[in-house]
Chain A
Amino acid sequence: MSDLEVGAVIAEQTFTLSRDTLVRYAGASGDFNPIHYRDDIAQSVGLPGVLAHGMLTMGLAVQPVIDWLGTRGVVTDYGVRFTRPVLVDVQDGATVTVVAKIGAILDATTRVDLTVTFADQTVLGKAQVQVRFS
């Protein structure tokens, strides 16, 4: 496959999160920690305001890889470190950008490395997806 070269960018996508996005994720995931929908509670624990669930950021960041993969294979491994919070402004929301690159071509799998940024800083560390082609 011509796009399978180490370093090749296979997908790039921008996601806009609003407070509604967080409420929807809270309901779908069952994570109702109020720091994800109440500024007063977020501030009471020392945060500037409401932040996105780390698992929401992790969940959306892999979607460009899923779209790229389509029915050609499956994700076998996906791991991230949560390094910085994504603050979601009540008016403007938050814009998260994902760039997915081929990181390594291994025997059984291909590793895709994700760079996930918000406000010009990466928010996930060592975000790596292993895919296996069928």
Chain B
Amino acid sequence: MNPELQGRVFEPAAPYLVGREKVREFARAVLSTSPLSLDPAAAQAAGYSDVVAPPTFAVVVQEATLAQLLAEPDGGIDFSRVVHGEQRFSYTRPIVAGDELTATLAVTSIKSLGGNDMVTAESTIVDASGAHVVTATSTLVVRGEA
């Protein structure tokens, strides 16, 4: 992996429009039974404009930025040896269907540990007004060649 990736900030990914049925599909896929994620009427009764995405839904929005990282020409990251080490989501507010979200990736840390490389990538996700919604942080482990 190229150590010069550390500190690199990427171009914002194309905006992601959060659809109601996508939220419901994702909620069912993570075995959610929450009416806030599945039932628009329940979400509206709780004060939301539409269904509320499960906390890990942000990974769907983050994905485009991780693809940017893996495709970086001088990155030197071999996708076939990448293992997901850690994941974190830090929310200012929940994602709600109807949000138009834009994610911007920054590489915050590159480390070598025991023959493996570790890269920490932070995707800052904002809404159409530019207000922060969630930061999704992934630590990827690139296994060394045995």
Contacts and interface: CB of A to CB of B under 8 A. Distances in A.
Interface string B44-75: 00100000001110011001000000000000
A54 B85 CA distance: 9
Chain B interface: which size bin? 20 to 34
Interface of B: 22, 25-26, 28-34, 36-37, 46, 54-56, 59-60, 63, 80, 83-91, 93-94, 137
A78 B33 CA distance: 19
A80 B87 contact: yes
Contacts of B60: 29-30
Contacts of B54: 59, 62-63, 66
B29 A29 contact: yes
Interface residues of A, number: 31
A116 B59 CA distance: 20
Contacts of A25: 29-30
Contacts, number: 93
B30 A60 contact: yes
A25 B37 CA distance: 16
A31 B87 CA distance: 15
A80 B87 CA distance: 6
B86 A82 contact: yes
B46 A59 contact: no
A71 interface: yes
Contacts of A55: 56, 59, 84, 87
Contacts of A7: none
A27 to B, nearest CB: 7
A60 B29 CA distance: 9
Contacts of A5: none
Contacts of B30: 25, 28, 56, 59-60, 63
A133 interface: no
A22 to B, nearest CB: 10
Contact of A60 (B25, B31, B80, B84): B31
Contacts of B32: 63, 66
A79 B85 CA distance: 11
B65 to A, nearest CB: 13
30 contacts: A15-B31, A28-B25, A28-B26, A28-B28, A28-B29, A29-B26, A29-B60, A30-B60, A31-B63, A55-B87, A56-B30, A58-B87, A59-B29, A59-B31, A59-B55, A63-B31, A67-B34, A71-B36, A71-B46, A75-B55, A75-B91, A76-B91, A77-B89, A77-B90, A78-B56, A79-B89, A80-B86, A81-B86, A82-B83, A129-B55
